[in-house]
Amino acid sequence: MTITNLLMLLGGLGLFLYGMQMMGSGLEAAAGNRMKRILERLTSNPILGVLVGGVITAVIQSSSATTVMVVGFVNSGMMTLRQAVWVIMGANIGTTITGQLIALDVGAIAPLFAFIGVVMVVFIKKQSVRYYGQIIAGLGILFIGMDMMSSSMAPLRESEAFVNLLTQFSNPVLGILAGTIFTAIIQSSSASVGILQALASSGVIGLSNAVFVLFGQNIGTCITAVLASVGTSRNAKRTTIIHLMFNIFGTILFTVICIFSPLTDWVSSWTPGKPSAQIANMHTLFNVVTTLLLLPFGTYLAKLATRILPEKPTEAAESGVHQLLYIKPVDQLSAEHHVGTSAIVLNGVQHELARMAEMVLKNVDESFQAVLEGTPARLEQVEETEEYIDYLNQQISRYISHIIVFETNAQDSEQVSAFFKISGNLERIGDHAVNICEYTQLLEQKHISFSQKAKTEIQAMRETSVEAIRSLGDMSRLEPDALKSIEGFEQKIDDMTLEFRQNQMIRLRDGSCSDEACTLYSEMLTDFERIGDHILNIGQELSPKNAVPVKA
């Protein structure tokens, strides 16, 4: 093989990969966010899940991309592990579309595809048309790259050393290992299968040797999802385990079949004289048959993945991933309601609200401290905690909306309703904490500083807010004395707000406070007062129902 052939091979590989990426990007851009919405909504039914996974992967030309997307959905709680099983199965079928496109052998008109696509991208202003031009151009470039690779590898047929190397792939273990490693390196089964097709088209390798490499390529494609799952929840990691189990099972099954049956000859007979199509057909057969065999056992795959990677509550809590610890997401709830369900439900919601209150307390404390420091250094952490608070509020609200229809006990129903309002009030306190912390950006940008007297008042606001939130306890029912204490805190906050506003006007008149500082301080006092109102609302919901009406 000459230098020229080597350069052609590298150039062809570059065009092939770029064309595939270009086509996938164009398809994804043309579809917008519809793929994500489809994945989120249509995966509860196994058959629909497989179809959705297959179509999405065929569109974006990458099972790895689909699986990474699924890992993200599972990690965020938008998709359950069981739903992920069906999508992964479909993704493995959808990825075979690239090989089938290559097998069409339209290399002669590939330059025309590239030309038409580029004209659409360069000369047409309408964005949607340009996306479709990108798809067509990508397809043309992909085929041009494929032709270049096939032409550059044709001389290898005369290389005895290279032919001897490829004959080693008749050993199933070596072939599978080679396919796994190569695909793991380039992180694309579509690309590695395309290169295998180019070798076959050049007459360098036959289907009998290529099949084992092909099976290994299906295992190697899992590496992208494995890398994407690093640092995610255990459920997200289980998604990658399912992906690996699927392809390892298929590889073992088809390796045994190919060794002990004439399957390879049978597949070759479908398209005699077309090695590229033979590889594409075997790839499709591998994934379709494996999916059909495993489809009835999808739930068991999810359970097995859970057994391989069992839940560890302490690790889950420390991972930083947004999740519920004491109640289940709505899509994981069963329709069964037995004796004791109400007590379990109320206890779980109470514990989740207590977690939420701890986060709110932390954010209020951090936000006032950030203002006292006069820098936005704490803002990023406060915003991250607020995202978690918003997540808990959303999930708790959904959970309560789901289970309240099954509650027949009037007292328990009343408490569930109270928990719903408490969650909303905690979320609003979190919003006010973020507002306070965001003022630090203006302090830094406009070089505003508060007087020492103002800082003393801010410290007092911080201490009072923290004490008032702590007085709510663990979100269990309050005794009358506890409610009186909370009412006292709310009145104290109102009195402090009034007093501090008057002090602010005095500082403004004597020139010890700038106009901009006064404006910010006034906004902060409003947030401080609102925090007190929401704390009282929560206290009243936790108290017996002879309490005064809840503030609006």
Does some domain include residue 126?
A: no
Q: Is the pLDDT of residue 120 over 90?
A: yes
Average pLDDT over residues 73-101: 80
pLDDT of the residue at 339: 36
pLDDT of the residue at 415: 81
**Residue 296 and residue 236 share a domain:** yes
- Residue 488 zone, left/alpha/beta (φ > 0; ψ -120 to 50; rest): alpha
Window from 32-41, 54-63, 340-349, 516-525 with minimum mean pLDDT = 32-41
Does some domain include residue 137?
A: no
pLDDT of the residue at 203: 79
Q: Is the pLDDT of residue 337 over 60?
A: no
User: Which tens digit of pLDDT belongs to each residue from 425-447?
Assistant: 999 999 999 999 999 998 888 88
The pLDDT confidence band at residue 55, using thresholds 50, 70 and 90, is: confident
The pLDDT confidence band at residue 318, using thresholds 50, 70 and 90, is: very low
Cα–Cα dist 533/530, whole Å: 5
Does some domain include residue 471?
A: yes
Tokens 């079928």 correspond to 93
Cα–Cα dist 46/482, whole Å: 51
Q: Counting Cβ atoms within 10 Å, is residue 511 exposed (0-12), middle (13-18) or buried (19+)?
A: exposed
Read off the pTM. Answer: 0.54
pLDDT of the residue at 13: 78
The CATH code of the domain that includes 352 is: 1.20.58.220
Does some domain include residue 80?
A: yes
Mean pLDDT of the chain: 82
Does some domain include residue 136?
A: no
Q: Is the pLDDT of residue 514 over 60?
A: yes
**Residue 378 and residue 270 share a domain:** no
Does some domain include residue 23?
A: no
**Residue 344 and residue 295 share a domain:** no
Name, in order, each residue with C-beta under 8 angstroms of 298's C-beta and a sequence gap of 6 or more: 46, 82, 85, 86, 89
Q: Is the pLDDT of residue 281 over 90?
A: yes
**Residue 352 and residue 302 share a domain:** no
The pLDDT confidence band at residue 326, using thresholds 50, 70 and 90, is: confident
Q: Is the pLDDT of residue 209 over 70?
A: yes
**Residue 377 and residue 472 share a domain:** yes
Does some domain include residue 316?
A: no
pLDDT of the residue at 491: 95
pLDDT of the residue at 135: 83
The pLDDT confidence band at residue 128, using thresholds 50, 70 and 90, is: confident
CB 512 within 8 A of CB 451: yes
pLDDT of the residue at 548: 37
User: Which tens digit of pLDDT belongs to each residue from 363-392?
Assistant: 999 999 999 998 888 998 999 999 999 999
pLDDT of the residue at 480: 79
Window from 136-145, 291-300, 360-369, 448-457 with minimum mean pLDDT = 136-145
- Residue 239's domain comprises 32-103+156-308
pLDDT of the residue at 340: 38
What is the CB neighbour count within 10 angstroms for residue 532?
Answer: 24
**Residue 271 and residue 181 share a domain:** yes
Tokens 């089964």 correspond to 189
Q: Is the pLDDT of residue 338 over 50?
A: no
Average pLDDT over residues 70-90: 76
pLDDT of the residue at 539: 92
Q: Is the pLDDT of residue 406 over 70?
A: no
- Render 484-542 in DSSP notation, one character per residue: HHHHHHHHHHHHHHHHHHHHHHHHHHTTSS-HHHHHHHHHHHHHHHHHHHHHHHHHHHH
The pLDDT confidence band at residue 202, using thresholds 50, 70 and 90, is: confident
**Residue 184 and residue 267 share a domain:** yes
pLDDT of the residue at 461: 96
- Render 30-62 in DSSP notation, one character per residue: HHTTHHHHHHHHS-SSHHHHHHHHHHHHHHHT-
**Residue 182 and residue 58 share a domain:** yes
Q: Is the pLDDT of residue 341 over 60?
A: no
Cα–Cα dist 473/491, whole Å: 19
Cα–Cα dist 530/436, whole Å: 12
Share of the chain above pLDDT 90, in %: 34
Average pLDDT over residues 442-457: 89
**Three-class SS of residue 126?**
coil
Give the highest mean pLDDT range of 140-154, 270-284, 343-357.
270-284
Q: What are phi and psi of 272, to 5 degrees?
A: -60, 140
Q: What are phi and psi of 261, to 5 degrees?
A: -145, 165
Average pLDDT over residues 1-28: 78
pLDDT of the residue at 494: 95
* Angle between helical axes of 207-220 and 189-201 (0-180°, round to 10): 170
Average pLDDT over residues 266-289: 92
**Residue 403 and residue 513 share a domain:** yes
In the chain, the number of structural domains is 2
pLDDT of the residue at 222: 86
pLDDT of the residue at 333: 52
Does some domain include residue 241?
A: yes
Q: Is the pLDDT of residue 183 over 90?
A: no
pLDDT of the residue at 372: 92
**Residue 96 and residue 214 share a domain:** yes
**Residue 282 and residue 337 share a domain:** no
Average pLDDT over residues 3-22: 82
Average pLDDT over residues 519-547: 87
**Residue 261 and residue 376 share a domain:** no
